[in-house]
Chains A and B, each alone.
Chain A
Amino acid sequence: MSTTQKPVNQKAWWLVLPVLLCVAFSAILPLMTVVNYSVQDIISPERRVFVGTEWFASVMRDTELHGALWRQLQFSLAVLAFEIPLGIALALSMPAQGWKASAVLVVVALSLLIPWNVVGTIWQIYGRADIGLLGHTLQALGFDYSYTGDPLHAWITVLVMDVWHWTPLVALLAYAGLRSIPDAYYQAARIDGASKLAVFRYIQLPKMRDVLMIAVLLRFMDSFMIYTEPFVLTGGGPGTATTFLSQYLTQKAVGQFDLGPAAAFSLIYFLIILLLCFVLYNWMQSLGAATKEPTHD
């Protein structure tokens, strides 16, 4: 540890100013407009009433919203439960070098290049019993599959679609993590007589921890805000089976023009994501007992 004295120079704060301005205009000010809506009842552009926390209170009592929140939590947890292990498995089975590695990387990344609404459309057609490969095959095999009629089918289809769309992201991150492990670790493991499982448990998994943390946070946040794909695929139905939080919010804000409650809920939504990310982050940090290894080369 060096004990050299750091020079003190308060002028450095000026260098932070551009960042503060950027953040203010890109994040804080837009957020303030939401705060503004959340505490007022806007009847017309000229007539507005300050209502305090009334919208927040009404949102908290909204049972439809509770349903959407519960569905959303289940969905996001399912997404993580499938995509993280699958992504790791995919990364482990990808070739490490050579033209095969490049080819596989491109193939794996393909689904990430498709726009959200196109993903929804692809699966909408794919799952149709009359012209879709998946729907038709399942029907032919004797399953009465219908993502428009059966809530469970719809829910599973949305989940599978998300797994298909986003597992490659987890795989790419995990792959990057795997490639950064120096060869000496694998050599040492061979010398120490470690089994494949032990290599995974004691070398690969711990070394991937940081990238996996990013993967978990990204997938959690993204899936928690999922909107376009289910909107295109099922439109939130049948009933409310696949109406997730952001779609419910959009219905409220844009469909019914209830800006006040929608704004209030936006803020709560934001805090929920922040809180859950915080919990996830700290939980994953504690898995490695907060041991940041200093790099040595």
Chain B
Amino acid sequence: MARIELDLAHAYKPDPKSDADYALLPLKMTFRDGGAYALLGPSGCGKTTMLNIMSGLVVPSQGSVKFDERDVTRSSPQERNIAQVFQFPVIYDTMTVAENLAFPLKNRGVPAEQIRQRVGQIAEMLEMSHQLDMRAAGLSADQKQKISLGRGLVRSDVSAVLFDEPLTVIDPHLKWQLRRKLKQIHHELKLTLIYVTHDQVEALTFADEVVVMTRGKAVQVGSADALFERPAHTFVGHFIGSPGMNFLSAQGENGQLRVQSLEVAMPDGVSVPKGELKLGIRPEYLRMTQPHAAGSVPAQVRQVQDIGTYQLLTCDVAGVLVKVRLAADMPVPPVGSQVWLRVLGQHTCFYRNEELVA
């Protein structure tokens, strides 16, 4: 096991000129020994590149990768002692389930008795004990992926186990189970786990710390809570949450605030930054208030959707559509009516140049 330090940038093309040529922009990051991390971001944001750099399948074009102070930038995956699980199940067709699980150990010359024990242990964790003697090729996609997961976890001395969207091919209900299983395995084996996904639920439930990435940049590293409450970048606000954060343009001047050019009555004890801003507030925290109440703006209800456990309003605030999540017991205003929404409160975030300022 190891602490992983990255200080690097990567471009697949030689001689990158602009930021767009980089798959990963210069970044510094440390992964704690024994932590459970998730790399979260949309397709093409560089998360798989980052994972492959950590595992040694890709050599970064600049900078270094360190495992416990040891520079491994140019070391092979084997030298780094890394395990990795891929998006699509990779299994060795001609082997049985047990042989598949034993393969990484066998290649490293682990004694047979030890292999047998470890394979038995992992198979039990994955609930595959009864399938050990079956041919791996005949199994279903999710069973195969379980084998891939098992091969990733079977070595007890790995520096880290990296997962590259491993649950993509798995049925939703099984996905839930496997994710819990992984979490449990993390507690039992105390391995460093790094998990790449574009599914925020997956990332937030699996990891202690989530790295949110977009366009080759890690924009925020934090717990699920921090990502939700204080997104450091508008992208995080927008990407995390369902639906994402609402953004309104705002101007701060002399302690006063205009939102979408609407004058807002300032509540007591609230200070706002100066200049051109973006105001961000999550649909969960937008509240309907009395007309002209402090910190509120008028809006028109455009749409009401019943999401089951709550009602989702789409409202028009001076030309910008915002989403409001209404608790089940709240009265639902009719479409077309005017409401007042409180946009200023303790959960309101302000952004300048997409970065959090207050």
Contacts A192-B151, A202-B94 given: A294-B107 contact, CB under 8 Å? no
A190 and B89 within 8 A (CB): no
Instruction: Establish whether residues A293 and B93, one from each chain, have CB atoms under 8 Å apart when the complex forms.
Output: yes
A184, A198, A203 pick with most chain B CB within 10 angstroms: A184
Contact flags B87-99 to A (C-beta < 8 A → 1, else 0): 1111011110000
Nearest to B84 among chain A residues (CB) is: A191
Central interface residue in A182, A188, A207, by most chain B CB within 10 Å:
A188
Question: Is A61 close to B, CB under 8 A?
Answer: no
Of the stretches B19-27, B135-143, B341-349, the one at the interface is B135-143
B57 at the A interface (CB under 8 A): yes
Q: Which residues of A contact B (CB under 8 A)?
A: 182, 184-185, 187-188, 190-195, 198, 202-203, 206-207, 288-289, 291, 293-294, 296-297
A293-B140 Cα distance, complex, nearest whole Å: 9
Contacting residues, chain A, for B82 (C-beta < 8 A) = 191
Contact of A193 among B55, B89, B108, B169 (CB under 8 A): B108
The complex places the Cα of A270 from the Cα of B281 at a distance, in Å, of: 80
Bound Cα distance A291, B139 (Å): 10
In the complex the two chains form, is A190's CB within 8 Å of B88's CB?
Answer: no
Chain B hits for A184, CB < 8 A: 86-88, 90
Chain B contact-residue range equals 20 to 34
Instruction: Determine if B95 and A187 form an interchain contact, defined as CB atoms under 8 angstroms apart.
Output: no
Q: Tell me whether B103 and A288 are in contact (CB under 8 A).
A: no
Once the chains are docked, how many angstroms separate the CA of A198 from the CA of B109? Answer: 13
Given contacts A191-B55, A289-B94, 6 further A-B contacts (CB under 8 A): A182-B88, A184-B86, A184-B88, A203-B92, A206-B93, A291-B135
Answer whether residue B120 sits at the interface, using C-beta atoms and an 8 A cutoff.
no
Given contacts A187-B57, A190-B76, A206-B94, contact A198 B107 (CB under 8 A): yes
A residues near B261, Cβ cutoff 8 Å:
none
1/0 per residue, CB under 8 A from A, across B187-203: the answer is 00000000000000000
Q: CB distance B78 to A190 under 8 Å?
A: yes
Cα distance, A195 to B107, chains bound together (Å)? 7
Q: Is B273 an interface residue (CB 8 A)?
A: no
Question: Which positions 109-157 of chain B face chain A at CB distance < 8 Å?
Answer: 135, 137-138, 141, 148, 151
B86 neighbours in A (Cβ, 8 Å): 184, 187-188
* Whole-angstrom distance between the Cβ of A206 and the nearest chain B Cβ: 5
* A101-B169 Cα distance, complex, nearest whole Å: 33
Cα-based distance from A167 to B233 in the complex (angstroms): 60
| Distance in Å: Cβ of B236 to nearest Cβ of chain A | 30
List chain B residues, Cβ under 8 A from A188. Answer: 84, 86, 90, 148, 151
Determine if B104 and A291 form an interchain contact, defined as CB atoms under 8 angstroms apart. Answer: no
- The listed residue (B89, B107, B137) touching A192 by CB distance below 8 A is B107
Residues of B within 8 A of A294 (CB): 141
Contacts of A203 in B (CB 8 A): 92
- Roughly how many angstroms separate A203 CA and B136 CA in the complex, as a whole number? 13
Are B141 and A296 closer than 8 Å at their CB atoms?
A: yes
Q: A188-B84, A202-B94 are in contact. Are A291 and B137 (CB under 8 A)?
A: yes
Residues from chain A with a CB closer than 8 A to the CB of B135 are: 289, 291
Query: B34 — which chain A residues lie within 8 A by C-beta?
Result: none
Q: 10 closest A-B pairs (Cβ-Cβ)?
A: A291-B137, A188-B90, A193-B107, A192-B104, A184-B86, A202-B92, A206-B93, A191-B84, A193-B78, A206-B94
Chain B hits for A291, CB < 8 A: 93, 135, 137-138
| Set of chain A residues within 8 Å of B138, measured between Cβ atoms | 291
A248 and B89 CA atoms in complex are apart in Å by 54
Contact present for A194 and B103 (CB under 8 Å): yes
CB contacts (< 8 Å) of B95 on chain A: these are 202
